[in-house]
A and B are shown apart, each in its own frame.
Chain A
């Protein structure tokens, strides 16, 4: 079902965890659907310096979380927003068709974390 690349990523995922003093946090999905992804990011000078994830979901959800967080570390916030699920799937050399929605979740979680970051920035500036 899964290719070797996906299984490797699932067996040894990168960036597992929760950044306590995060600059942005995003959580998407719900337990009823069987998928929850939570991503926290650290941002300095508009560049994502760290990203961590916690995922409740299948092997594909874990693998895409790992890849997506890895990809956005070092990116500017604007570039990270352009990350698509297609890029994540491409890196993983493909996912089974019924698992594509997991990669969408990873993209959405990154976007939610960045939105949260921007919201907090805007609040800071307003003060």
Chain B
């Protein structure tokens, strides 16, 4: 394979070399257990506390409100189950959206089995929920509202601050899965009225296997991992010092470079979208065209007459890594529930491809990807029983 172009930055990002450098000593030299009292342990604890402060500063929280976890999925599980179980006496109703990440949806499904009631709010064709929708769903049994900051498949940015204000006004806990947002969007847990927030380091050029649950001081939820007294007795398990150090440096750098990175990424994405729409017939752009309400990195298309997995594998053969919402890619029989929730017809959901740009992608890579995409779409359409040759003026493909 001559080329290796990575356009799946919403799935994961590489660990930034500077971040990796900061992590390395904590594998081999500063290897103490952060809970140990001796100097080996104290050295590790100093690094962990510094990382905690970096995270707190990045989202305008206090260090005592930062809990290190194994990643976004754990943070979502903990926040939602922890709140549901702590407030069971008060009520049994949870409000979320139909387009949450499986880490939230499946956690809610589990709670439904335990007897909780969950409202999955529908979204508009562009992928938005409104604060009004949330407010109208509130009952006197509602104990938790969980709405993602930005969607992983179509990149829509939800009105978190308004939803947070509604939750606050009704004295209901508000959790947001900010896994796709942290490092890409400014987040201020105070201004945004957030009680709990999940993040994952590997989405913002940090290492895999480490994340954070921000929990506002005073918010009482059940502990998730039982065992030792780590993380103020809320999350047992020996602290992952290298991962935590990496997360701290990664979030600091991501927030510092946010504007610069977003300007670069958005320029590539906007050019890519413009060219695809101009040169390929019968293509649908999934999600919103309002660039202010969409992650700079995200472009999601459905190509009519062809199936997503075959597009993905063809691009793979050309050295380009993307992801697809087709059933064939997920291993299930259903295509992306997110796209279906946006009202994308099922056959078009099967033909969806997500391109997610990152800070290290170049214009040259974007041009190469466009060229290969035209070839791939043309080849697969030629092969498709659904495709009829266009009459009259023809586009590229």
Contacts and interface: CB of A to CB of B under 8 A. Distances in A.
Contact of B350 (A11, A16, A34, A37): A34
B309 interface: yes
A56 B313 contact: no
Interface stretch (B62-70, B234-242, B289-297, B379-387): B379-387
Contact of B310 (A18, A36, A37, A57): A57
Contacts of A33: 327, 333
Contacts of A13: 383
Given A11-B317, A34-B307, A58 B383 contact: no
A98 B350 contact: no
Nearest to B386: A56
A117 interface: no
B313 A34 contact: no
Interface in A13-49: 13, 16, 18, 27, 31-38
Contact of B327 (A2, A34, A54): A34
A32 B346 contact: yes
Interface string B321-354: 0000011110101010000000000110010000
Interface residues of B, number: 23
Nearest to A36: B385
Contact of A31 (B310, B333, B350): B350
A13 B383 CA distance: 10
A58 B317 contact: no
B244 to A, nearest CB: 33
B197 interface: no
Interface in B136-186: none
B317 A36 contact: no
Bin chain A's interface residue count. Answer: 20 to 34
A34 B335 contact: yes
A59 interface: yes
A55 B327 contact: no
A98 B331 contact: yes
Given A16-B383, A36-B385, A57 B328 contact: yes
A31 B331 contact: no
B386 A31 contact: yes
Contact of B385 (A11, A27, A98, A99): A27
Contacts of A18: 385
Contacts of B307: 34-35, 56-58, 61
Interface string A80-104: 0000000000000000001100000
Contact of B306 (A7, A16, A27, A56): A56
A90 B386 CA distance: 29
A62 B314 CA distance: 11
B128 interface: no
Contacts of A34: 307, 326-328, 335, 347, 350
B204 interface: no
A62 B346 contact: no
B71 to A, nearest CB: 24
B309 A59 contact: yes
B305 interface: yes
Contacts of B347: 31-32, 34
Nearest to A60: B328
B382 to A, nearest CB: 7
Nearest to A62: B310
Given A31-B350, A32-B347, A56 B385 contact: yes
A56 B326 contact: no
Contacts of A56: 305-307, 384-386
A38 B385 contact: yes
A55 B385 contact: yes
A54 B326 contact: no
| Residue among B305, B331, B333, B350 with most chain A CB within 10 A | B350
B313 A58 contact: yes
A54 B385 contact: yes
- Residue among A11, A54, A55, A58 with max Cβ neighbours from chain B (10 Å): A58
A58 B310 contact: yes
Contact of A58 (B305, B309, B333, B384): B309
B350 A54 contact: no
Given A33-B333, A34-B326, A10 B383 contact: no
Interface in B359-397: 382-386
Given A34-B327, A60-B328, A62-B310, 6 more contacts: A10-B314, A35-B307, A54-B383, A59-B313, A61-B307, A61-B310
Q: 4 smallest A-B Cβ distances: which pairs?
A: A58-B328, A31-B347, A58-B309, A34-B350
Interface of B: 305-307, 309-310, 313-314, 317, 326-329, 331, 333, 335, 346-347, 350, 382-386
14 contacts: A16-B383, A18-B385, A31-B346, A32-B346, A34-B307, A34-B328, A36-B385, A56-B386, A57-B307, A58-B307, A58-B313, A58-B329, A59-B310, A98-B331
